[in-house]
Structure 1
Amino acid sequence: MSNSATGRATIPQTVWAARGRHTGPATEDVVRRTLRRRKENGDIDDFAEPSAPEESGHLIFEARWQVGGTVTVRARLTLVPRQRRLGEHEWTLVAEAERQWDESWPSPATRFWPEGGTPLGYDGDWDHHPTVEDLRYRQVNALPEDDKEMRHRLRDAAREAWCVNLVVHEAMTPDEDGRQPLARLLPPGLRHRVLEHRAAPQQFRAVNWALKDLGVEVPRGGAVLLPPDPAPDGYEAHEHSVRSVFLDGSEPTELFSALRHFAALRRPMPRGMEEALADLRDNWTLLTLQEQLERERRRVTMYAEALEAMTKSRDLYRQAAEDAHEALVAYRDTPSGPALPQQRPGTRQPSPLQQLTRTFERFRFTGKGSLPAPGPKASPADDGPQGTEDTQGTESTQGTESTDRQA
């Protein structure tokens, strides 16, 4: 598994998020009844059911309530059909408070879902794990007897987990109180974010073999918190394991301390959470009158800024067009200069270096002697005989001068 969260956005400390699966029929009716009952009891201020794109098949519910007297919490639940024939839905719940989340605040899950069973018999079936079968949040989940199946279950539960996976090894077979889930002893803000796995006394070696891929191990009779994939920065396995957990119904103080430390880490957002949080922030519809007024003011300001930018852009474009027109007129009014000689196509003008070289060549040949002055051009009729006589006279003169030198 990866051990780095580089490049991933972290979960804000103001956010509470969870995923699950409802296996009973009429999922949306269960949510509507719960929200209506919560509003009648004063547990929430208001709720709404915004419309979703028809092609998506999603159902969306929003709720707003107060915690700590003055802190507003906004939450959005999204239902996605999984098996239409059975009425099964996956759900995603994201809640954001105006300040850092306090574990003593009520669980957002109980604002949308019933806390316990009802006479209808199926209202409590909302706490199943979204992807791994036979895992539930509010129950003790015994690990399979088969080693490979155990390994796959723990690996799949830890991958891109929205919850905290807790593995507990029973040192001995617990009594009735010890068989109760430890999550019921947690504060409300952590209760529905913990998935508890139990290994029987004889499964000690098997469970550590199954945990080998995750880089952790559970002490005999102790517990360990599984790192998500990718692991948060600052996660150390030894800081999130407890050597002894007494399953006698008492509160495991050391284990809960490690769990709070784990929940406070800057954990990277698992797949899908960033989109769900953006959907909550950007598409929120359950507004108070004051919030609606502020939203309209922001919208007016945004439109005014956009209009001002468009006006500036129009003025700049108009000025550029006028400048271009003036430049074109000035160019047309400029008198034309002397025409340059046209060069025949295919010919090349000699470069300055070539011209200088030719000048030196003329000086070199001129320095050897003065060139004869050009005479009148002879007619074609006189070329032959006169040329012969001149040649013979020249040869005779050259012969006499040679004899005189030899004498």
Structure 2
Amino acid sequence: MPSSPTARPMTPPTVWLARGRHAGSAAEEVVWTCLKRHKDDGGIDDFHEPAEAQSEGERVFEARWRIEDSVTVRARLTVSDGQAWVLAAEAERPWDPRWPSPAALFWPQDSDADWDHEPVTGGRLRDLNPLPEDDKAVRRLLKDAARDGWTVHVVVHEAMTTDQRGRIPLAGMLPTGLRHRVVEHRAAPHQLRVVNWALRDRGVEVPRGGAVVLPGSPAPADYDATAFSVRSVFLDGSEPAELIAAVARFAALPRPLPEGAEEAVTALREQWRLLTLEEELARERALVAMYVDALEAMTKSRDLYREAAEQAHEALAAYRESAGALPEQRPGPESPLQQLTRTFGRLKDTALALRPGTDAARVQEPSGRRTDAD
């Protein structure tokens, strides 16, 4: 079931996100070497591998630099299993696509560097990617691309077979902040029908000899396929200004955070360890203030408990004193009803004693009365 745009929080305007896969070996060493070179050259202020953030199968790198000498950028790269990577960066003000790409500071920009594979389709971020010849593979790839919320996927149709001038990747012409967030898919002249058949469920169509920016998932609320399609793209080595403008407009749309990005942004903000001296002092002051508040709360609770215990002891002592001062309770005089009940009890006992067969004295016959025996 596709996610709605309101299912996830929106991407903050200050945040830059990207992910990929390193196809080579020793990804951690590649990142460390690149960061060390940029620090030595003054490209970044500092970088760090926080020991508490490392785990089996995952390495974390933090880097901090300044843009325009006044805007601080903090970035956090996580490399999992030596292959997949996620990069989240945040600036002190809304991100400008003309700023340098954070990926260019963590990864080398050599043409043979093998870190820029997009994990959903396998395409390269810095190159153009011809669609496969098999129709089923084309449909599967484009359906996956249309659902990807991390990367901007662009499909370009070649109206005719191009020469070397038409094979220049779009990435190198984009603003620097977008170069590692876009994947360009190239459809051969005969593939237009299968491409549009694969995209029809998304309400997207590629014009013949043109291009379209795929919506991703969740799609931006303001996405309109017609507004992000280009009728014609001249693949003659010239800059496709209309297509570049469409990509830039799409990237600027408010978009929900893609799946897994919320965790990356949270880790960047809450688990950041690469602090300046001023930030360290501010953090320690905040910790001291927190401890002082906690101590005051504990002291107040202790005083309240002591006061309540003293009041309870005082109440108990007052109760004991009042109980000792009460006069001894003596039985009062019997009521007439009690006396009458006791009298009836004695009469009952006497009547039982005079019954025949008891040991009590029997009543004698009068002495003057004779019997038949006489």
1:255 is the counterpart of 2:228: no
Task: Find the partner of 1:180 among 165, 168, 184.
Answer: 168
Give 2:115's aligned residue. 126
Give 1:111's aligned residue. 105
- Counterparts of 2:41 and 2:24, CA distance in 1: 25
- Counterparts of 2:176 and 2:221, CA distance in 1: 26
Contact 1:14-1:101 at 8 Å conserved across structures: yes
Contact 1:3-1:231 at 8 Å conserved across structures: no
- Counterparts of 2:315 and 2:238, CA distance in 1: 90
- Counterparts of 1:330 and 1:156, CA distance in 2: 82
Contact 2:156-2:185 at 8 Å conserved across structures: yes
Shift of 1:94: 0.9
- Counterparts of 2:291 and 2:51, CA distance in 1: 26
Shift of 1:99: 0.8
- The letter of the residue matching 1:36 is K
What's the % identity of the aligned pairs?
61
Contact 2:75-2:90 at 8 Å conserved across structures: yes
- Counterparts of 2:298 and 2:67, CA distance in 1: 44
Matches within 5 A, 1:6-405: 6-52=6-52, 55-81=55-81, 88-117=82-111, 124-133=113-122, 135-321=123-309
Contact 1:51-1:59 at 8 Å conserved across structures: no
Give 1:344's aligned residue. none
Q: Provide closer, same or farther for how the CA distance between residues 53 and 60 of structure 1 changes in structure 2, counting only shifts above 3 A.
A: closer
SS at match of 1:211: helix
Q: Which runs of 5+ in 1 are unaligned?
A: 82-87, 337-407
SS at match of 1:216: coil
Shift of 1:305: 2.2
Q: Which runs of 5+ in 2 are unaligned?
A: 327-374
Aligned length: 325
Task: Provide Cα deviations, 1:198-234, integer angstroms capped at 9, x if missing partner.
Answer: 1111111110011122221111111111112111222
Task: Provide Cα deviations, 1:7-30, integer angstroms capped at 9, x if missing partner.
Answer: 411111111111011111121111
SS at match of 2:167: coil
Q: Provide closer, same or farther for how the CA distance between residues 265 and 334 of structure 1 changes in structure 2, counting only shifts above 3 A.
A: farther
Contact 1:4-1:233 at 8 Å conserved across structures: no
- Counterparts of 1:153 and 1:42, CA distance in 2: 41
Contact 1:52-1:59 at 8 Å conserved across structures: no
Contact 1:18-1:193 at 8 Å conserved across structures: yes
Give 2:370's aligned residue. none
- Counterparts of 1:185 and 1:179, CA distance in 2: 13
Shift of 1:157: 2.8
* RMSD over aligned Cα atoms: 2.3
TM-score, structure 2 length as denominator? 0.80
- The letter of the residue matching 1:25 is S
Contact 2:38-2:105 at 8 Å conserved across structures: yes
TM-score, structure 1 length as denominator? 0.74
Shift of 1:311: 3.1
Contact 2:149-2:218 at 8 Å conserved across structures: no
Q: Provide closer, same or farther for how the CA distance between residues 248 and 327 of structure 1 changes in structure 2, counting only shifts above 3 A.
A: farther
